[in-house]
Amino acid sequence: MQNKKFYVTTPIYYVNAAPHIGHAYTTILADVLARYHRLRGVPTFFLTGTDEHGQKVQRAAEKGAMTPQQQADQTVGRFQALWKKLDITHDDFIRTTETRHVRVVQQILQTLFDHGEIYRAEYDGGYCVPCERFYTGRELEAGTCRECGRALEPIRESNYFFRMSAYQAWLIDYIHEHPKFIQPDFRRNETLGFLQQPLNDLCISRPKSRLSWGIELPFDHDFVTYVWFDALVNYISAIGYLADDQRFQRWWPASYHLIGKDILTTHTVYWPTMLKAMNLPMPETIFAHGWWLVGDSKMSKSAGNVVNPIELADRYGVDAFRYFLMSEMTLGQDCNFSEEAFIRRYNADLANDLGNLLSRVMKLVTSHCGGKIPAATAEIVGADEQQLRQAVLNAATRMEECLDQMRLDLGLTAVASAVREANRYLEKRQPWTLAKQAEHGALNTVLYHAVETLRIVSGLLYPVMPTKMRELRQVLGLSATEPSLDQLKIWGKTVPGTPVGAMVSLFPRIQAGAPTQATTATGQPAALPQATPPTGVTLVEYADFAKISLRTATVLAAEKIEGTDKLLRLQVQCGEEKRQIVAGIALYYKPEELVDKTVVVVANLKPAKIRGVESQGMLLAASAENQLRLITVDGVLPSGAVVK
């Protein structure tokens, strides 16, 4: 799907506290999407910024003994510094305290007021200060905020209201008629569920006697604008609404509003009804991603489990951090964060696979090809080369498909699989052995195919890891210009005879607890402290071991379990019986790689439910240094054979 333009936005982040991994994730996601579209040659505009008004900012400023503007300026600096560190390529950074935004908000308010869309009325209900939301009717009965669960504060005051309820029927119809408007699908259903209840009008003001930090209403100087009405307008004020019509028409409507699921209602109910009242087109897609969790809990400052993205980027590198976030989370689903998972994925995908491939190939090119990329000999190209070529080109196609489906994690899985295929190819063809032959035609052919794999892979990963992939491409002798996505779908663009650059160690392996290598005074690697080995193992009687029934099984089908990153559901044939087994091997095997494999299973294990899916057995696998391989048998045996 090729678009005429691509306009992507993040939420504008609230300036009452420092940025955390949730802010980093959404912004890196937007950056990666923007970079991919630029590689496609699509005109792209990427907007982010900060939301600087409201009661939370005012209270944070009071607590810090400063003015709200000082509070905003201080916190905005942290966001801007983080985006620079994380290599974010936004085209604009909007602050809601800027004149260009304030003027547009006030013009919209005045127009809606003149047209009877805004009216004044008495409000009596509950109020959540952290979420800055009013509650009335059934919503008030619970006594707590629907979003954060905190107790509501009773409040009675005069305010201005936007006639949001008038658009309820229209909005329901629009959502049904435009299935891509709210994604993923279950978030669309969530909004439709919310709209089954009568929709109240939206209170869009706060009296200055209670809150002074906001945009003043143009028609009543005793009130300021509700922070959400103010904040949502950033998506159009930043691109020229009511200021530069040509620019506005070029970019609106937005291709994607990227948001966290906690602000779904404001973006899928408030914002569309506001746009409808303004007679403006709707954004194409509002995409709500999940939360990063620690255990079963959402990261939050109050819980004390917030992950500082700057610390992680400093410790392991910005590009590795970007890669982990994009590959680990299934868009729309929640995802658990742990440093152990980070190290495991880094070592498996980047250090062991991609870094190892580059190191192997460049050493051979430098040692046996005079430091220049060799040419392949057409007569020598066989089935192994064809298989590698197909795997790499399939990854390029798959990445583009996943880009349009908002499944970047699957696209990156396809690329990682292509890299593993290249390493398997080298193991099969043994170029280090071919180098000993007098005739180097076979060696040159193998190395060309490996280098061409690296060219395509480096381009596919460029939007995710721009700095490291730029370094990799320089090693390959490629130009400093950004790759073209179209060129990555064509095999054979590497030019033989191109001098390679100096070898670099892109992804040094991370040793748990020892991220850097110590050296002695002579510069030699020092012996690192070894982990204390276990003092012993529990011995079992043979009679106990004999109770375990190990048998061979043939994998008939495999698929990922929805909402998880690590689990696969396997259908296996074990003798005369078909079984379902849940296995935590999705980080190491693609489902299609497992079909027809003969594996070893514990056949008499009691069935258990894992994430709600029944598992009727267990696969056997070996693991070491963040690698995992299934236990198989030597030779051909029928399924159900006893393993002794």
| Co-location of 468 and 572 in the same domain | no
Evaluated on CA atoms 134, 189, 26, 255, the torsion sign reads negative
Domain of 351: which CATH number? 1.10.730.10
| Co-location of 466 and 397 in the same domain | yes
* Last residue within a domain, chosen from 489, 504, 522: 489
C-alpha separations of 601 from 294, 540, 550, 587, 607 in Å: 32, 20, 6, 19, 13
Q: What CA–CA distance (Å, rounded) separates 462 from 447?
A: 22
Q: What CA–CA distance (Å, rounded) separates 153 from 462?
A: 49
| Co-location of 469 and 592 in the same domain | no
Assigned domain for 115 exists: no
Using an 8 Å Cβ cutoff, are 233 and 104 in contact? yes
| Co-location of 481 and 561 in the same domain | no
pLDDT recorded at residue 1: 46
| Co-location of 481 and 360 in the same domain | yes
Total residue count of the chain as it appears in this document: 644
Assigned domain for 526 exists: no
617 Ramachandran zone, left/alpha/beta (phi>0; psi -120 to 50):
left
* Last residue within a domain, chosen from 489, 507, 526: 489
pLDDT recorded at residue 198: 94
Q: Which amino acid is at 259?
A: I
pLDDT digits (tens, 9 = 90+) for 58-80: 888 888 899 999 988 988 999 99
Q: What CA–CA distance (Å, rounded) separates 181 from 222?
A: 37
- Ranges of the chain with pLDDT below 50: 1, 514-537
Assigned domain for 247 exists: no
- Would you tell me how many other CB atoms lie within 10 Å of the CB of residue 554? 18
Strand partners, 608: 615
pLDDT recorded at residue 391: 97
pLDDT recorded at residue 637: 64
Helices in 40-93 by DSSP H: which ranges?
A: 55-63, 68-85
Q: What CA–CA distance (Å, rounded) separates 325 from 322?
A: 5
Number of domains composing the chain: 2
| Co-location of 481 and 588 in the same domain | no
Whole-structure pTM value:
0.78
Q: What CA–CA distance (Å, rounded) separates 636 from 625?
A: 29
Domain of 573: which CATH number? 2.40.50.140
Backbone angles phi, psi at 206, to 5 degrees: -140, 135
pLDDT recorded at residue 539: 60
| Co-location of 452 and 568 in the same domain | no
pLDDT recorded at residue 267: 98
Q: What is the 3-state secondary structure (H, E, C) of 111-144?
A: HHHHCCCEEEEEEEEEEECCCCEEECHHHHHCCE
Provide CB contacts within 8 A for 592, sequence distance 6+: 558
pLDDT recorded at residue 59: 86
Range of the domain at 384: 338-489
| Co-location of 441 and 575 in the same domain | no
Assigned domain for 578 exists: yes
Assigned domain for 349 exists: yes
* Last residue within a domain, chosen from 444, 471, 489: 489
- Tokens 């061979």 -> residue: 552
Strand partners, 578: 573
The half-sphere exposure of 40 on its side-chain side, counting CA atoms within 13 A, is 22
Assigned domain for 508 exists: no
Q: What CA–CA distance (Å, rounded) separates 463 from 36?
A: 6
For residue 306, the Cα-to-chain-centroid distance in whole angstroms is 18
For residue 304, the Cα-to-chain-centroid distance in whole angstroms is 23
Helices in 461-546 by DSSP H: which ranges?
A: 466-475, 542-545
pLDDT recorded at residue 624: 63
Angle of helix 356-368 relative to helix 466-475, nearest 10 degrees, comes to: 20
